[in-house]
Amino acid sequence: MTHFSALSLLKNAISGNKDWTEQWPDAQPKTEYDVIIVGAGGHGLGCAYYLAKEHGITNVAVIEKGWLGGGNTGRNTTIIRSNYLYDESARLYDHALDLWEGLSQELNYNVMFSRRGVMMLAHNVHDVQSFQRHVHANRLNGVDNTWLTAQQAKEFCPPLNISPNARYPVMGAALQRRAGTARHDAVAWGYARAAAARGVDIIQNCPVTAIRRGPTGAVEGVETGKGFIKARKVAVSAAGHTSVVMDSAGVRMPLESYPLQALVSEPVKPIFPCVVMSNSVHAYISQSDKGELVIGSGTDQYTSYSQRGGLPLIEHTVAAICEVFPIFNRMRMLRKWGGIVDVTPDRSAILGKTPVQGLYVNCGWGTGGFKATPGAAHTLAWTVAKDEPHKINAPFTLERFTTGRLIDEAAAAAVAH
Amino acid sequence: MLLIRCPYCDETLPELEFAYAGEAHIARALDPSSVTDEDWRDFLFIRSNAKGPHYERWRHVHGCGRFFNAVRDTVTDRFLTTYKAGEAKPDLETLTGDAR
C-alpha cells in the first residue's frame, strides 16, 4: 500500500499515474478467524480497523454480500451532526464527531470531512420551543449548538426564504457549526485500506447465509456463499438485513426495515454553503463538492427490502424544498435511490453484546447511521475485543426493550424520521 | 406507487389513500397484569420484519376509514392479497401473486 503524501502524489504524477498499487487486496476466506464482521459498510470496516489498531486483533474478516460500501454507506446524504437531546445519544454522537475531525489524518485517506454547519429550521412556536430546549440540553452536555434568529439564519444560508408570507415561515433556527458532511464512499474506502494494511481480510460478493451456534449456544462461525468459516466472535453490522442475519442465530430483533430515499440534482456552481434540515416541512438539503444538491427526507411508510421506495415521497420532499428555497424550483433532478434502514421502536441504535455468547450487534441506526460511523465502529471494537460494554455504548443494549429503559429520540424528535 | 385493493370498498386504489399500520396478527394479551416483561417486549417491540411475504395492516384513511390486513412481498412490494380485519391468516401456499 502506498502512503499518500504530497511527495507521492507528485512522483506518481510525473510517472503518469501508472505506478499506483491496489488500495487493498480482494481476499479469499481462510478457514478460521478470531473475529468475523458481517457487512462491509463504514461501520463494519471501521470496527475491523479499530480492532486491529487499538486492540491488536488482526486475524479478522469483514464479509460482504455485495460490494464494499454498496449498502447504506453509499446511499445516504452524508450529513454529520451530534445535536441529539438525550445524554446517552449526545455522548455517542459527539464521540463520533470527535473522531470525524481527525479521521483523514488517522486513515491517511481524505474523507473530505467539511465542518460547514447543520442548521435546523423552526417554522412554528412548538419548533422554536423544542429547538431552544435542544440548544440548552446540548450545551449542558458540551455539544456545540446555537440559536439563530430568522435574519441570522438568512445570513448564514443566503438561498433561504424567510419571507413572513411563506407557507412555512422561518421563525429561527438551531445551528451546529461543528457539524457538516463527509465523502461517504471515501469513508468506506479509507477504513478498508487502513484495515487491510493491518492484516484484515475483506471478502466481497460472499453472502453470510446463517450464523452457526454450538451445543453450548455460543457462536461457532458463519455459513457463507463460500462455505463455513469458523470464528468464536461474530459482529453483525448489516443495517437493513440485521434482523434476517440475527434470526439465523435464533435472536429476534426489535427492528423494522424501511426504504429511505434520497435524490440529487444536476450539478451547479457553489450556491449552498451549509446543510439545512426542516423537520416540519420534512426535508433536508446540502450541496456536494461535485455541485449536486443532495436532498432527502423521511422513510416510506411501509417496510420493504426493495432499495427503491415510492415516488409520492419524492414529490412530497421536492415540494418541501421548493417551498423553503424557491430559488431551486427549476432545478432538474438527476438520480434518486433508496437504502434499507433498520429502525428501532425508540429510534436509537442497538450496539454491543447479545444474549448469545460471542455474538455482537451494531444496528438500529435508522435514518441516521452515517454520522455515527467512527463512534459506533470504535466502541463496538472495544466491546468485541474485551467482551464488555464501552462506557459510551453501554446504554444502547438490546435489554432496554425488556427493562423499558429506552433512549427515546423518537419522542425527542431531534431528527427528521 | 403501490396500488392497493381495499377489501371493504372492493376497489384498487393508489397508495396515497392508505396508511400503513404495522405488522398484522399481533394479539394483545387478554390478561395484561399476568404478562411477563419478556412477553411485553415481544408484544410491543419485537417484529418479524420478514424478507418475503409479510402480514401487515393498512387503513383506508382517505376512503372508508377501515383497517384491513394484507400479505405483501417485501422484496418486490407486490401485494399477494388483502382481506378484512378479523379474517384468518391466509395460507401462503394458496396465494398466487396478484391481488389486483
Q: Domain segments of chain A: what residues?
A: 28-109+183-254+346-412, 118-179+257-343
Confidence (pLDDT) at A1: 74
At the topology level, CATH places domain A118-179+257-343 in D-Amino Acid Oxidase; Chain A, domain 2 (3.30.9)
The DSSP 8-state label assigned to residue A248 in this structure reads T
| Cross-chain residue pair B72–A254, CB shorter than 8 Å | no
Q: Tell me, what's the ipTM?
A: 0.94
**A242, A304, A405, best to mutate vs chain B, most B CBs in 10 Å:** A304
| Cross-chain residue pair A308–B77, CB shorter than 8 Å | yes
Distance of alpha carbon A252 from alpha carbon A401, whole angstroms: 12
| Cross-chain residue pair B47–A402, CB shorter than 8 Å | no
> Chain B within 8 Å of A209 (Cβ-Cβ)?
no
Across the range A252-265, mean pLDDT stands at 96
pLDDT digits (tens, 9 = 90+) for A189-244: 999 999 999 999 999 999 999 999 999 999 999 999 999 999 999 999 999 999 99
Nearest to A178 by CA among A109, A105, A99: A99
The DSSP 8-state label assigned to residue A413 in this structure reads T
pLDDT digits (tens, 9 = 90+) for B26-84: 999 999 999 999 999 999 999 999 999 999 999 999 999 999 999 999 999 999 999 99
Instruction: Report chain B residues touching chain A, CB-CB < 8 A.
Output: 1-2, 15-16, 19-20, 23, 37-38, 40-42, 44-49, 51, 54, 56, 72, 74-77
Dmax over CA atoms of chain A, in Å, equals: 68
Residue A417 clears pLDDT 50, i.e. is over it: no
Across the range A324-334, mean pLDDT stands at 94
Q: A389-402 b/e with 16+ CB inside 10 Å = b?
A: bbebbebbbbebbb
Q: Contacts of residue B20 in chain A, CB cutoff 8 Å?
A: 301-303
Q: Which helix (H) or strand (E) holds A374?
A: helix A373-386
Domain-wise residue ranges, chain B: 3-27+38-94
Q: Contacts of residue A404 in chain B, CB cutoff 8 Å?
A: 37
Confidence (pLDDT) at B36: 96
Distance of alpha carbon A65 from alpha carbon A68, whole angstroms: 9
Q: Which residues contact A200 (CB under 8 A, 6 or more apart)?
A: A48, A49, A51, A52, A58, A60, A61, A62
Dmax over CA atoms of chain B, in Å, equals: 44
> Chain B within 8 Å of A253 (Cβ-Cβ)?
yes
Statement: A28-109+183-254+346-412 belongs to CATH 3.50.50.60: yes
Of B41, B74, B77, the CB nearest to A401: B41
Please state, in angstroms and as integers, the Cα–Cα distance from residue A333 to each residue in A159, A267, A275, A323, following that order: 18, 9, 18, 16
pLDDT digits (tens, 9 = 90+) for A157-177: 999 999 999 888 999 999 999
Confidence (pLDDT) at A413: 57
- State the DSSP string of A81-129: ----SSHHHHHHHHHHHHHHHHHHHHHTS----B---EEEEE-SHHHHH
Distance of alpha carbon A399 from alpha carbon A253, whole angstroms: 11
Q: Which residue from B minimizes the CA distance to A342?
A: B49
C-alpha cell at A256: 423494522
Confidence (pLDDT) at B95: 80
Single pTM value for the model: 0.95
Residue A184 clears pLDDT 70, i.e. is over it: yes
**B4, B20, B35, B45, best to mutate vs chain A, most A CBs in 10 Å:** B45
Please state, in angstroms and as integers, the Cα–Cα distance from residue A189 to each residue in A13, A102, B99, following that order: 21, 16, 44
| Mean pLDDT of all residues belonging to chain A | 95
Confidence (pLDDT) at B99: 54
Q: How far is B26 from chain A (nearest CA, A)?
A: 14
Residue A257 clears pLDDT 70, i.e. is over it: yes
C-alpha cell at A128: 422554536
B3-27+38-94 belongs to which homologous superfamily? Folate-binding superfamily (3.30.2270.10)
The fraction of chain A above a pLDDT of 90, given in percent, is: 92
Residue ranges of A 276-305 with Cβ closer than 8 A to chain B: 301-305
